[in-house]
Amino acid sequence: MSKAKNRNGVVFSTNPEFKYEDDSPLEKILLPWTSQKMKISLDKSGRAGKLVTLVEGFSGPDAELEKLAKELKTHCGTGGSAKEGMILIQGDVRQKAAVFLEKKGVKIRLIS
């Protein structure tokens, strides 16, 4: 049985006028990604020794993450992917990524 909705433990009610109250927490207010702080680092662990530039710290919808990743990959001229709030770009392109994100207004922290 899947848990599609949180109904405060109520599974079924025989009262025809019963209405489920939505006690879900308020959605987190997300900052525009241009005012977020992101970290840029280099990683090769678990990637057969190949270098990957990681851009971490994105908080927002997956569609915006994919859009930013596509623009960043195009600017750097390499491939990569985006998942779980993180952008992976093939190769050591930390400087190019930092310049691109700074032009977009993102506050970055470059980790060596």
**Domain segments of the chain as ranges:** 33-110
What's the CATH class of domain 33-110?
Answer: alpha beta
Instruction: Say if CB 88 and CB 54 are below 8 A apart.
Output: yes
SS (H, E, C) 30-99: CCCHHHCEEEEEEECCCCCCCCEEEEECCCCCHHHHHHHHHHHHHHHCCCEEEECCEEEEECCCHHHHHH
Tokens of 85: 């709030």
Q: Express each pLDDT in 73-82 by its tens digit.
A: 999 999 999 9
Q: Express each pLDDT in 20-76 by its tens digit.
A: 766 555 444 456 666 788 999 999 888 888 999 999 998 888 888 999 999 999 999
- The residue written with tokens 């908080």 in the block is 59
Q: What pLDDT, on the 0 to 100 scale, is given for residue 7?
A: 60
